[in-house]
Amino acid sequence: MLELFTINEVADIFKCHPQTVRSYIKEGLLGALKLKGEYRITQQDIDAFLKRNKTAGKI
C-alpha cells in the first residue's frame, strides 16, 4: 500500500518549516498529490528529492 505523508510530516523529516515544503512543491522540486484540497507526498517522492539534494548540504 502507498504510504502518504502530510506537509507537516515531511517538514519533520526534512527538519524545515512546512512553508518550505510547500515552496518545494510549488517550484516542482518535490512531487506531491493533491487529495481533497491537501497535499500528500509519497515516500518515493521524498526519496527522490533527498537523492537529488544530498550533496547540497542543508535542504
Dihedral, CA of residue 13, residue 17, residue 19 and residue 22, to nearest 10 = -10
Find out whether 45 and 31 touch, Cβ atoms under 8 Å: yes
Computed over every residue of the chain, the mean pLDDT equals 92
Residue of 2 and 55 predicted with greater confidence: 2
What is the CA angle 48-38-58, rounded to 5? 35
CA distance 18 to 21: 5
Q: Of 34, 28, 30, 22, which is closest to residue 51 (Cα–Cα)?
A: 30
Residue of 59 and 43 predicted with greater confidence: 43
Mean pLDDT value of segment 48-55: 87
Q: What is the pTM of this model?
A: 0.86
